[in-house]
Structure 1
Amino acid sequence: MRILQALPALYSGGVERGTVEFAADLVKRGHESFVVSKGGPMAEQLRGQGSKHIFMPIHRKSLASFGQILPMRKLLLELKPDIVHVRSRMPAWIIFLALKSIPANERPAVVSTFHGMYSVTPYSAIMTRANHIIAVSKCVRDYVLNNYPVPDERLTVIQRGVDVDAFRQRELSSQWLDRWFRQYPQLAQQKIIMMPGRISRWKGQLDFLAMMAQLVRERPDCHGIIVGGAEPGKEKFLEELEKERARLNLVDKVSFLGQRNDMTTLYLLADVVCHMSTKPEPFGRTVTEALASGTPVAAFDRGGAAETLRACFPEGLVPPDDTGAFAKTALTLIGKPRPQIEIPWRFRLEAQTETTLQVYENLLSGRRAP
């Protein structure tokens, strides 16, 4: 098949990483893989894995983006993809408007993925116009069915898969550890409590600081690391976090690491990984990645993250917003030997690829039927 994925950009988020991994898996299986976006640091990785990236500024939520309708129409007529997979709302609008002027028998099948619980508006409803819809978790599926007139048979739950071998078949090299402890000598001989995620209020870094204040009273040998960068416009919240760290006397107990490109190694280093989003998260990719690394995870019992933990590591579930219970759970986890964590097939990259390809094939076979 010839498959075109469309998303705003290729930076470092979960949607972007999932798109690049899926594209690489498509190439391995002999399909033609194309991605259209405004580009970003991951475009080079995409090209290196055998996919083709097409630059097009389809990211802005503004009327200016509708200037891309004709270029998109031209691209679709030239590429003649079998499937167009839209992963965001503005690219979906541009693609659907471009398709309107293409004869119905020349149009590709369109698949959309709800990567989040989007606001219920006509703008978001464009994602329901696809021939088939994918939801990244059961909670997202329920949200779509409760808010849009979508027949159940047009919606499939496909969890975001991770390449378990890529995370688990690794080890901490002595060279990496030497560099790490030279850069962060305060982390030597410490239990590492890791909080991954971009700096954003709803990601829960304030709750993480409150939890760490309670944890270090019981275990002074614990050190928290907050891994993730502050996006433009979030710098003030980072300053707020730094002030709160000082207020809680955690300056020597919590370190901000910023954006990192060695996450797979950090998962192995951590003794516990924390997921503390203040609202239900559609999936929670860091949860699956950490568990794939064999590292225990503690997370509030809500949203897609809870679905993953319930299937893989239920002892890590914590009542929502209870930082005291979270500290107790983290304390319990670091006091035990590292557990054997099994990742069910549906959370693996090969499962995501095969199930998505089945959706594609069903759509195309339906079109070929008389």
Structure 2
Amino acid sequence: MHAILQVVPALESGGVERGTLEIARAIHAAGHRSIVMSAGGGLVAPLESQGSEHITWPVGRKSLRSLRLVRPLRDFIREQGIELIHARSRVPAWIVWRALQGMRTDERPAFVTTFHGFYSPGRYSSVMTRGDRVIAVSNSIAEYIQQHYPACPPERIHIIHRGVDPAEFPHGYAPAEAWKETFLRSLPEHARGRALLTLPGRITRWKGQLDFIEVIDALIREDHPVHGLLVGGTERRRRRYELEIRKAISERGLDSHITWLGQRSDLREIMTVSFAVLSLSRDPEAFGRVSLEALSLGRPVVAYAHGGVGEQMAALFPQGGVPPRNPREATRILSDWLKHYSPPTPAPLTRFTLQQMQRETLGVYDRLFQPESFMNSRDDRAG
């Protein structure tokens, strides 16, 4: 049994946090000791319920005071016999890195980092390339690392795509009739009987809500019976952008053609009753969970084909791939599908699954536990 520590800023919500719990579950299932260190949050209880331990430390605070945690962390590593540390964010990674520098080579645990996003290039982000192994969540991220951090040896980078669980998002899933009736009744009367087009995503400019409005407007002008659904919450600092979206909807006369659903806990069900799910992020995403969840359900997706989402579309559903920032092409594809009311159906997932991600991540750990591999990686890191 090995003692494995994952370090993240907090356990509130989000893709990084969800991935932390998914790997923690796999570590525990493999018979190892799974520990997560963070500032805490709503996901601590489910983490502990699946067999992992949680240590509450303020490891995500962006302050020089965080360096005070270096020595206590070093002591913690020794006391708990930690053999591998996996850092998933930059501030925690710096704390871990500093702690490891003060340890003898023969007592230092293996160090793994995950590049979860297109971090701004520079010294602050460079810590994510200092692991014995650097996990990139997509080919796009691996290329970004090599472009901006050429000193990171390519053999140290491992591409492990994030994945979804086909059991949680089963192909052909149908929601309960009671839910379906209640949901459809909650929509404006004008929406009933129309093809629902759904754009999930938090309310922020780069998620492409304004492009979505443009697509709905064009389809309505072509006399297609569609209704748009915006699903996602708005942070306080994004209120001005929300007002901009609402103004754009009103100015185009689309108030009865687009429904703002806000944050929802039943997105899976909403996607299953949608004619198509859209992903219109104007900047490339490192991964893109929602588009993959929709594809896993067997729902057609129209997406800007760049970043991690572009990789998903090329591999799983090329029919829905659209050049980035091109709402006109997204409209053309949807218009063609609507004319025949028979959009193509994605095949069941055989790639980008949760189980594949867990297996490949634990494979990286296992190789570092092998004495020869471990010593070589530490020699590389020291150099």
Q: TM-score range by the shorter chain?
A: over 0.9
Q: Deviations over 1:89-146 (max 9, x none)?
A: 1110111112223332222111111111111110000111110101111111011011
1:65/1:227 CA distance change after superposition, 3 Å:
farther
Taking the aligned partners of 2:290 and 2:302, their CA distance within structure 1 comes to 11
Could you say which residue in structure 2 is the equivalent of 1:83? Answer: 84
| 2:219 aligned partner, one-letter code | L
Could you say which residue in structure 1 is the equivalent of 2:285? Answer: 281
Asked if structure 1 preserves the Cα contact closer than 8 Å seen for 2:139 and 2:308, the reply is yes
Could you say which residue in structure 1 is the equivalent of 2:379? Answer: none
| 2:222 aligned partner, one-letter code | E
1:220-299 map, 5 Å: 220-299=224-303
For the residue of structure 2 that corresponds to 1:119, the secondary structure is: coil
1:158 equivalent in alignment to 2:160: yes
1:9 equivalent in alignment to 2:24: no
1:362 equivalent in alignment to 2:367: yes
Could you say which residue in structure 1 is the equivalent of 2:211? Answer: 207
Asked if structure 1 preserves the Cα contact closer than 8 Å seen for 2:110 and 2:374, the reply is no
Taking the aligned partners of 2:176 and 2:160, their CA distance within structure 1 comes to 34
Could you say which residue in structure 2 is the equivalent of 1:324? Answer: 328
The structure 1 residue matched to 2:184, chosen from 159, 181, 201, is: 181
TM-superposed CA distance for 1:163, in Å, is: 0.6
The structure 2 residue matched to 1:344, chosen from 344, 350, 356, is: 350
Taking structure 2 as the reference length, what is the TM-score of the superposition?
0.90
1:193 equivalent in alignment to 2:197: yes
**Mind listing any 5+ residue stretches in structure 2 that lack a counterpart?**
377-383
- Root-mean-square deviation (CA, aligned residues, Å) is 2.0
Could you say which residue in structure 2 is the equivalent of 1:172? Answer: 175
Asked if structure 2 preserves the Cα contact closer than 8 Å seen for 1:114 and 1:127, the reply is yes
Question: Structure 1 residue runs of 4+, over 4 Å off?
Answer: 367-370
1:355/1:211 CA distance change after superposition, 3 Å:
same
| 2:187 aligned partner, one-letter code | Y
Q: Which one has the largest radius of gyration?
A: 2
Could you say which residue in structure 1 is the equivalent of 2:381? Answer: none
Asked if structure 2 preserves the Cα contact closer than 8 Å seen for 1:311 and 1:344, the reply is no
1:122 equivalent in alignment to 2:128: no
Taking the aligned partners of 1:120 and 1:191, their CA distance within structure 2 comes to 43
Aligned-pair identity in percent equals 39
1:217 equivalent in alignment to 2:221: yes
Could you say which residue in structure 2 is the equivalent of 1:135? Answer: 136
1:30/1:188 CA distance change after superposition, 3 Å:
farther
| 2:156 aligned partner, one-letter code | R
Taking the aligned partners of 1:48 and 1:155, their CA distance within structure 2 comes to 32
TM-superposed CA distance for 1:184, in Å, is: 2.8
Q: Deviations over 1:159-181 (max 9, x none)?
A: 00111121016430123223323
For the residue of structure 2 that corresponds to 1:238, the secondary structure is: helix
TM-superposed CA distance for 1:182, in Å, is: 4.1
Could you say which residue in structure 2 is the equivalent of 1:104? Answer: 105
TM-superposed CA distance for 1:220, in Å, is: 4.4
Taking the aligned partners of 1:75 and 1:289, their CA distance within structure 2 comes to 38
For the residue of structure 1 that corresponds to 2:169, the secondary structure is: helix
For the residue of structure 2 that corresponds to 1:58, the secondary structure is: coil
Q: How many residues align?
A: 369
| 2:349 aligned partner, one-letter code | I
For the residue of structure 1 that corresponds to 2:237, the secondary structure is: coil
For the residue of structure 2 that corresponds to 1:260, the secondary structure is: coil
For the residue of structure 2 that corresponds to 1:193, the secondary structure is: strand
1:50/1:263 CA distance change after superposition, 3 Å:
farther
TM-superposed CA distance for 1:239, in Å, is: 1.5
TM-superposed CA distance for 1:315, in Å, is: 0.2
Taking the aligned partners of 2:356 and 2:102, their CA distance within structure 1 comes to 36
Taking the aligned partners of 1:31 and 1:176, their CA distance within structure 2 comes to 40
1:306-321 map, 5 Å: 306-321=310-325
TM-superposed CA distance for 1:340, in Å, is: 4.2
Taking the aligned partners of 2:49 and 2:223, their CA distance within structure 1 comes to 45
TM-superposed CA distance for 1:270, in Å, is: 2.0
TM-superposed CA distance for 1:363, in Å, is: 1.2
Taking the aligned partners of 2:292 and 2:123, their CA distance within structure 1 comes to 32
For the residue of structure 1 that corresponds to 2:86, the secondary structure is: strand
Stretch deviating more after TM superposition (32-41 or 282-291):
32-41
Asked if structure 2 preserves the Cα contact closer than 8 Å seen for 1:8 and 1:59, the reply is yes
1:44-55 map, 5 Å: 44-55=45-56
1:337/1:208 CA distance change after superposition, 3 Å:
closer
Taking the aligned partners of 2:322 and 2:308, their CA distance within structure 1 comes to 14
For the residue of structure 2 that corresponds to 1:22, the secondary structure is: helix
| 2:88 aligned partner, one-letter code | R
For the residue of structure 2 that corresponds to 1:165, the secondary structure is: coil
Could you say which residue in structure 1 is the equivalent of 2:20? Answer: 19
Asked if structure 1 preserves the Cα contact closer than 8 Å seen for 2:231 and 2:261, the reply is yes
TM-superposed CA distance for 1:272, in Å, is: 0.9
Stretch deviating more after TM superposition (295-304 or 230-239):
230-239
**Mind listing any 5+ residue stretches in structure 1 that lack a counterpart?**
none
